[in-house]
Amino acid sequence: MRFTDGYWLIRPEFDISYATEVYQVKADDQRLTLLAATRQVRGNKGAVLNMPTLEVELSTPMEGVLCVQVTHFKGALPNKPRFEINRAQLPADITRDGDVWRIRSGALSARIDTKAGWQIDYMADGQSITSSGFRGMAHALNKETNNTYMSDSLMLNVGEWVYGLGEYFTPYIKNGQTVDIWNADGGTQSEQAYKAVPFYMTNRGYGVLVDDAADVSFEIGCEKVERVQFSVPGETLRYYFIYGPHPKEVLRRYTALTGRSALPPAWSFGLWLSTSFTTDYDEDTVNHFIDGMAARDIPLSVFHFDCHWMRGLHWTDFVWDPATFPDPNGMLRRLREKGIRVCVWINPYIAQAGDLFDEGMEKGYFIKKTDGSVWQTDLWQAGMAIVDFTNQAACAWYASHLERLLNQGVDSFKTDFGERIPVRGIQYADGSDPLRMHNYYSFLYNQLVFDTIKKVRGEGEAVLFARSATAGGQRFPAHWGGDCSATYISMAESLRGGLSLAHCGFGFWSHDIGGFEQTAPAHVYKRWAAFGLLSSHSRLHGSSSYRVPWLFDQESVEVLRRFTQLKCRLMPYLYAAAVEAHEQGIPMLRPMVLEFPQDLTVQMLDRQYMLGGSLLVAPVFTQEGWVDYYVPEGSWCNLLTGQIVQGPGWQKEQHGFLTLPLLARPGSVIPLGGNDSRPDYDYLEGLTLHVFALQDGCQTQIKVPDLLGRTAATFTLTRKGEVLTLDSTSPHPVEVVLHQREGVNLTAK
């Protein structure tokens, strides 16, 4: 929300009251409370009349985190719903030195000089990281609408970059942008986002979560070019200031607050194949595709039935279309016998012609208008209503139909939509604010579906393919990037969205290989296949045409086979990275700055990423195969070609369709499994440890997980001089392959 006209003037429709000076301080063992006057009152007792004040509470919800709550009117109704925040609420460490107050949380502190003008300095290691100062914290009234807003703004230092805020496909660095946290079905080609998250982090070693499910507005170095301003509707603003200083530590703390990703089952990391959206298909078509993949030696793990597994105009009633699937139980059994898992498309919208509409309307399971009638629309499905997931009876009803499908043999659900949630003139069963339910609806939707799968299938077997999300939605993996086009430009914007989402703690992310809209030329399909299979989850999906590789060209078959088999062999490495995402909140697809925060060049890179902590991936975005990418310091080795690349520096290379820059980090050990035909197998059998440029005197430890995410074996490699020693807890023999040998001999214990 923009309140100003330039730096000095206020827009004519607004009255703004800025925190100006500290009038009063209170401290106890839980919080430091400041009463901020909105004009200068020292020495003028009459100035306290007819003046708004802001009450500012600072508390310590966990080490390295400060909670800041700013309130104008306490009597306003509480904001509902709110994000689920895991607050430990540590005792407040508050000190006073004359006029200066401090509240500490680990290495982080907030400093307030009560005799200076209004300013809160956020400090670490004796240095100010950022501050809320002059004309920063405020209450605003729109005189035309009578709507009120709370706002704060934090200073941006020279060279400070802002990242995150959800899966936005706009420029990766958010400086200069206005971002409204509002889930929308806008495609990857627009400024809208399916997954809007009110959290950002910067290269100064901190992050900020605005704890409000409403349409938080961020003005990032634009309205005030030296600040990030954030504002929310209402009378209270609450945000969490999260210190690292390493960006991984920021994410660990952020995900400790908002929740960490569940660990998806290992089978979900294999290749998913879809019917596509508007294509014609039946069981014969499905078998033709599955058998065709097997005949071409392309491992396939999951088959996805998109919308038309149900009858048209009936979405979503969870009823198989009898014209095309007369024996769904038998079909699902036959697919399982082929070793194929099944995912089906759903959404939270109930069409008027569907089998469930009358029951849902009669029992009050739908979102209602304020007059008590059912909210309906013809956009998407004729006369559709939307399930009210604040109604527990409606949740049980919806879940019962999911359970029926799971008991039939369905393994997973693509939880599509969840963004087109109305806000005007409606009411929820639990009295939630419709404005704040718009984004939060995605959390309730995905939580219900995820928990239902877990209930029926058991712990560790639940996985979604979800499109909408907000803060905390990372708890219910996996997510994909929505409707992209079949071009290199759209492939690159998809990656930008994935990088931005990774900054918000989403551990598992995918995208439609080859693009959703239109049909890609074969060269785009092949380049995208390599990118897609070097993502946490990999799906072939489209709109109006099938995405099996032989419909593009013969080389597409070879490319898809090569990278699917490579991903299966990489599973000991990839699943260990998945466990790290689950346990620590560090995503599998990582922006370069997460691994190399001190390298100034990587802070701006948006066409490459780290897959786990040890593999650099630079997708190719050109038909001719030319790619420019950057490597940080050290001697990097291409896992596919054996080429050595010396960093730091930029590289320009040309690649055929069967290779791309896939570089092992210096000093890393990459475990490759012995099975290239499926993602879920005993990772210790046939295991090979690939060692890259381990320096003299260095020791590294590799943990290989089992299919439940537990450590199956630990391998410790130590180099002393020309001798490399291996200690192993594995019951199976392991092969060690040395790259960049430099005269090293191998000694095994």
Active-site amino acid positions? 416, 419, 483
Dihedral angle over CA of 69, 72, 78, 80, nearest 10: -70
CA distances in angstroms from 408 to 75, 304, 319, 402, listed in the order given: 51, 15, 12, 10
* Residue from 324, 315, 122 nearest 206 by CA: 122
The backbone torsions φ and ψ at residue 406, rounded to the nearest 5 degrees and listed phi first, read -65, -40
Q: Is 500 in a helix, a strand, or coil?
A: helix
* Residue from 101, 188, 54 nearest 467 by CA: 188
Which two tokens mark 449?
A: 């579906």
Task: Count Cα atoms within 13 angstroms, Cβ side, for 415.
Answer: 34
CA distances in angstroms from 180 to 1, 276, 464, 538, 642, listed in the order given: 8, 31, 26, 30, 45
Cβ proximity of 241 and 108 under 8 Å? yes
* Residue from 549, 546, 506 nearest 530 by CA: 549
A 10 A CB-CB count for 636 gives 24
Q: Which residue has the tokens 């036959």?
A: 334
* CA–CA distance, 50 with 57 (Å, rounded to integer): 23
The angle formed by the CA atoms of residues 561, 188 and 197, to the nearest 5 degrees, is 110
Cβ proximity of 288 and 550 under 8 Å? no
If you ran DSSP here, which 8-state letter would residue 485 be given? Answer: B
* CA–CA distance, 173 with 634 (Å, rounded to integer): 26
Which two tokens mark 152?
A: 């704060």
* Residue from 367, 445, 443, 453 nearest 402 by CA: 453
